[in-house]
Every structure is written in C-alpha cells, then in structure tokens.
Chains A and B, each alone.
Chain A
Amino acid sequence: MSSNKPQDGPVRGPQHEPREGFSRRTFIEGVGIGAGAVGALGAPERVRAAGNDVLGPDPVSITLNINGKSHDLMVEPRVTLIDALRNRLDHTGAKKVCDRATCGACTVIVDGSPVYSCTMLAIEAQGRRIETIEGISTEDSMHAVQTKFVEHDAQQCGFCTPGLVMAGKAIAERNPRPSMADVESGLSGNICRCGTYVGVRKAVYEAARGESA
C-alpha cells in the first residue's frame, strides 16, 4: 500500500512504464488507490504559476480544470497531462498510444485548441480549460460529432476514436463551413491504423456543417 502514496513517487514505477509481471488489473487498482491517497493528502505546496519558486522534483500540488470541474492532485513536474488524466483522475477516454506527439489518440481540447496531452506537462495545464471526451456528452445525448461517427461507421477497433472525435469537435467549433480539405488538414494530427479515415472525414464534415443524414 505504501508504495502507492504519492510522496513515494508512484509515477516513477509501473504506472509510467508497465513492466512484465504487472497486470492491467493490478495496474488499474494501484492507480485507483493512488488517486484516493492524493485526495486525503491535501495541498502542502501549491504551485504559483506566476512565482519563481522551484517546484519538484517531488510531487507538488496542482489544480486542473477538466470539463468545468476543478481537480486537485499531487504530481511530479514530469507527469504529462495524459498520465494525470488517466492514472490519477480516472479520465481514461484519451488514449496513450505513441506517447510522442504524433498519433493523436491522446488529443484533448485546451483553451479551445486540440493538443497532444502526452506532450503537455500536467503542471503546465494549470489555469487552462481542459475538455476531454468524457465531458462532451451526457447519458442521454451524444455530441454531434459522436452521432455522426455512429452514422458513418467511423471506427473499427476504436482506439484512435476519442482523439479523432476531439480533433473533429475542435474543427466544428472553429469553422461552421469547412471544406473536405479543411477537415483532412484538421484531422492530420491523428492516425487511425484501421484506416477509417473516409467515414471519419464524412462524420466531421457533416457534424461541423450541422447536416442531417
């Protein structure tokens, strides 16, 4: 249990670099305990974004605004936004695939722009408006981009889908009348190895233009 306490540096171990002998189930359980402990610890060293304080390398308290809700957590400065979202805050919609700012599976929207959450440090995401796939729909209604994904069968294995939906949402919000070339360019930061691009482009194109099928 003690190895899951934040001050012992849980991000240093298997949470970041799962090794053999460490199952997905124990991995997820460990993360759950870690997140609970964070809440209990409070916030001893609050980050002042404008200050000149040296923070870390031990965990520091940060606050993230995700889908309109404020979350306090303890992270080492090296923890990326995606690891904070997935491993600490149970927002597992964004996927960690390439982890090198290329594939787009980790895409979330920050201050209205799509970003690679694998390549933004969590500590740098403070004071910014973070939107994840979890926040764009309710139990009763999907976002227009999601509805269009279903209509156009725009997914196969689904691993790239949350990132593509968020990239598509960002296009739709910026441009109510995108051309197909705008859609292609706007989705160029996301890769789908199943090759669902045709359906994805149609879905985003129609969702942005508010077109019904």
Chain B
Amino acid sequence: MQNFEYIAPTDTIAAAQALSPHAGVTAVLAGGTDLVSLMKQRVETPSRVVSLRSIRSLRGISKKGGGLRIGAMATVEQLLDSGAAAPYRSLLQAARGITAPQVRAMGTVVGDLLQRPRCWYFRNGHGLLAMHNGESLVPNGENRYHAILGNKGPAYFVSASSLAPALISLGAQVTVAGPEGEREMALADLFRIPASESERENTLQPNEIVTEINVPGASGWRTATYEVRQRQLLDWPLVTASVAVRLRRGTVADARVVLGHVAPIPWRSSEAETALKGQSLGESAGEAAGKAAMAAATPLSQNKAKVHLATVAVKRAVAMAA
C-alpha cells in the first residue's frame, strides 16, 4: 500500500473540504472493504485518506417522513437487523445475497453502491476501460462476466452493486455533500457509463461524499429481487433483477424493473416495465417482461448465457413479487 496521511473529520463539510477536487489524489474511507484492497493492489494510490467514521450524522438507519433513511456509515448488517427496513422486501433480499458476515459487519450500504467495478482488467491495473493501443481489451478478451447492455464501448464492465437495482426500483434518492453544501438526486443519476478513462462510473465530484440514501415508503408496492448465482455464498451474483409493481384492479398500474450486473450502470428496463403494465402478475407476464428486457441485448463473445440468465431473473423476480 502506498503511504498516505489520514484525517477523520467530525462533519461532512469538513470532510469534503479535506478532499481534493482532483481525481485520484484523495479517497473516502467508510467500511474499507473495497478501498483497502484497491490500495493494496495500487489501483487506488491516494496521498490522503478521509475517514467518515467520526461523523455522527452519517450513522444509523431510521424511518424518516414515511420513508427510510440510510446513513452513509450504516452497514449491511445494520440494514438487515433494522426494523425500519423490514417493509423493503426487495432491498433485504438483495442484502441477504451479501453473505459473509465480515463483509456485512464492515461494509456500508453506500459503499456497496460506490464499490469500484469488479472487472478483472480494471482490478489488475489496466484501467477502468482496459484500453490498450486505443482499443479495449474486453471485447476480444475474457468477458464472460461483462456487460450485455449499455456496452457500445469503450466501457464493458458491469456495475458491481448488489443493492442499487433494488434501491432504484424503490425510487431512492441520495444526498451528496461537497465543500459548498449539499445536493440531492435520484440514485439512478449517481451512475453513469464513462465515455473516457478520465471519467468514473459515478457522477460524484472527487471532493463529494454521499451522506445518505432516502427511500420513499413502500406501502402499496410489491417488490422482489432475484439473483442468479454461480456460488450461493461469498460471491457477486452473475445477474440480478429487482422489480417493484403497484396493482390497480388486479393489473399492473406502475412498474419499475432494474437489472444488476448486466451493464456498466444498474440497468432500468423501460421495455420490461411496458411489458408488465396492464397485465396481471402471472408467469406469462414475467416471461414477457424478461424477454422484453433482453430484446436489445448485445452480448460479447463469451457471455451470451447472461442474456438467458437475465431473462429468467426478471421472470422469477416478477413471480416473487406477485
């Protein structure tokens, strides 16, 4: 690990002010489950680490205005133990997929959203886009776990977050603090597909911190997350699908379908949502939604199987929500 200086401010503005406005110079430390490993690999080499552990306002999970507030330092373990989170079924189903108790105890919910991609080219020092002589190594390389949507290039990695698809399907917002103050945005807008190596997979400025997630009340929504896994324990899913639907007179009036691990961002499928609307929640509606979600898929040389897995994930998530 490259040496760094350490600072643990007691409020978010001081933390943001301790961060550099330039990328790669400083890093934010919450649970550390991703950052510490990235620093050991020298993928991240900050000269200053800003710890959030002394900022009391970032702690805890609680009910807030009919919804749920998740502080930036709240861990996955706290989410699973929280009575306030109990109505958010799809979120808890996704959180249970993070099995290792050590990761649950250390890792934060916000950290799950902001973990860097697990793409092995990136983790082995080839850069986020794995560019080599002006071309990405991924399309002709080892790409079985890479993107099948949103992969026109040069980004082919998949968003690694397990919880973002569920949170986006629940309509979550995030609060972001910078040196000048706070701003709010839809969680979906936190993510982006980078167009060049100078961009990241999120829209945060280098000196901004996500301070909390706010999820609106889930009353009236039927929600579910289905994960397709190679290993049941201690691994990231191959594909996930989170759905949230609201029925009126027995048929779907509102639907949100968000897939994980299929694109460089959590992938909201308007095609699947359209396929569900007006239908009753049966197997045929789920199957049609799965097929619609994958209609525009463009698999790479080694990951055609993910198209089928994602189709099934949507179908099963719809069945679980019914």
A6 within 8 A of B: no
A51 within 8 A of B: yes
Which residues 1-37 in B have Cβ within 8 Å of A in the complex?
1-10, 14, 18, 29, 32-33, 36-37
Set of chain B residues within 8 Å of A9, measured between Cβ atoms: 3
B101 in contact with A186 (CB, 8 Å) = yes
Mostly helix, strand, loop or mixed at chain B's interface? mixed
A104 within 8 A of B: yes
CA–CA, A191 to B235, complex, Å? 12
Chain A's nearest CB lies how many Å from the CB of B288?
34
User: How big is the A interface, by class?
Assistant: 35 or more
Type the 1/0 row for B252-271, where 1 means its CB is closer than 8 Å to any CB of A.
00000000000000000000
CA–CA, A171 to B100, complex, Å? 12
Which residues 179-204 in A have Cβ within 8 Å of B in the complex?
184-186, 188-189, 191
B234 in contact with A189 (CB, 8 Å) = yes
A52 in contact with B32 (CB, 8 Å) = no
A121 within 8 A of B: yes
Closest to B38 in A: A100
Interface residue count for B (Cβ, 8 Å)? Answer: 35
A101 within 8 A of B: yes
CA–CA, A107 to B106, complex, Å? 12
Closest to B39 in A: A78
A50 in contact with B102 (CB, 8 Å) = no
Question: If the complex has contacts A52-B9, A102-B234, A119-B106, are A77 and B33 also in contact, measured as CB distance less than 8 A?
Answer: no
Set of chain A residues within 8 Å of B7, measured between Cβ atoms: 52-55
Question: If the complex has contacts A113-B77, A119-B36, A124-B29, are A77 and B102 also in contact, measured as CB distance less than 8 A?
Answer: no
Of B47-55, B149-157, B307-315, the stretch lying at the interface with chain A is: B47-55
B321 within 8 A of A: no
Question: If the complex has contacts A100-B40, A116-B106, A121-B32, are A49 and B101 also in contact, measured as CB distance less than 8 A?
Answer: no
B99 in contact with A189 (CB, 8 Å) = yes
Chain B's nearest CB lies how many Å from the CB of A172?
12
Set of chain B residues within 8 Å of A49, measured between Cβ atoms: 8, 53-54
B195 within 8 A of A: no
Set of chain B residues within 8 Å of A55, measured between Cβ atoms: 5-7
CA–CA, A185 to B101, complex, Å? 8
Type the 1/0 row for A118-157, where 1 means its CB is closer than 8 Å to any CB of B.
1111011000000000000000000000000000000000
Type the 1/0 row for A55-88, where 1 means its CB is closer than 8 Å to any CB of B.
1110010000000000000001110100000000
Question: If the complex has contacts A55-B5, A167-B101, are A184 and B233 also in contact, measured as CB distance less than 8 A?
Answer: yes
Chain A's nearest CB lies how many Å from the CB of B34?
8
Type the 1/0 row for A12-28, where 1 means its CB is closer than 8 Å to any CB of B.
10001000000000000
CA–CA, A113 to B105, complex, Å? 6
Set of chain A residues within 8 Å of B9, measured between Cβ atoms: 52
Closest to A99 in B: B40
CA–CA, A170 to B1, complex, Å? 30
A119 in contact with B105 (CB, 8 Å) = no
Chain A's nearest CB lies how many Å from the CB of B72?
15
B14 in complex: contacting residue of A52, A118, A184, CB < 8 Å:
A52
Chain B's nearest CB lies how many Å from the CB of A180?
13
A185 in contact with B99 (CB, 8 Å) = yes
Which residues 271-300 in B have Cβ within 8 Å of A in the complex?
none
Residues of B that sit less than 8 Å from A by CB: 1-10, 14, 18, 29, 32-33, 36-37, 39-40, 47-49, 51, 53-54, 77, 99-103, 105-106, 233-234
Residues of A that sit less than 8 Å from B by CB: 9, 12, 16, 49-57, 60, 76-78, 80, 99-102, 104, 107, 110, 113-116, 118-121, 123-124, 167, 170-171, 184-186, 188-189, 191
Cβ contacts A to B, 26 pairs, < 8 Å: A51-B10, A52-B9, A52-B10, A54-B7, A55-B5, A55-B6, A55-B7, A77-B4, A78-B3, A100-B40, A101-B36, A113-B101, A114-B102, A114-B105, A116-B33, A119-B32, A119-B33, A119-B106, A120-B106, A121-B6, A124-B32, A188-B233, A188-B234, A189-B103, A189-B234, A191-B234
Given A52-B8, A188-B99, 17 other A-B residues pairs in contact with their CB atoms under 8 A:
A53-B7, A55-B6, A56-B4, A60-B6, A77-B5, A101-B36, A101-B37, A113-B102, A115-B105, A116-B102, A118-B36, A119-B37, A120-B36, A184-B233, A185-B99, A189-B99, A189-B103
Which 8 A-B residue pairings sit nearest by Cβ, starting from the closest? A189-B100, A77-B6, A113-B105, A188-B233, A57-B3, A188-B99, A189-B102, A56-B5
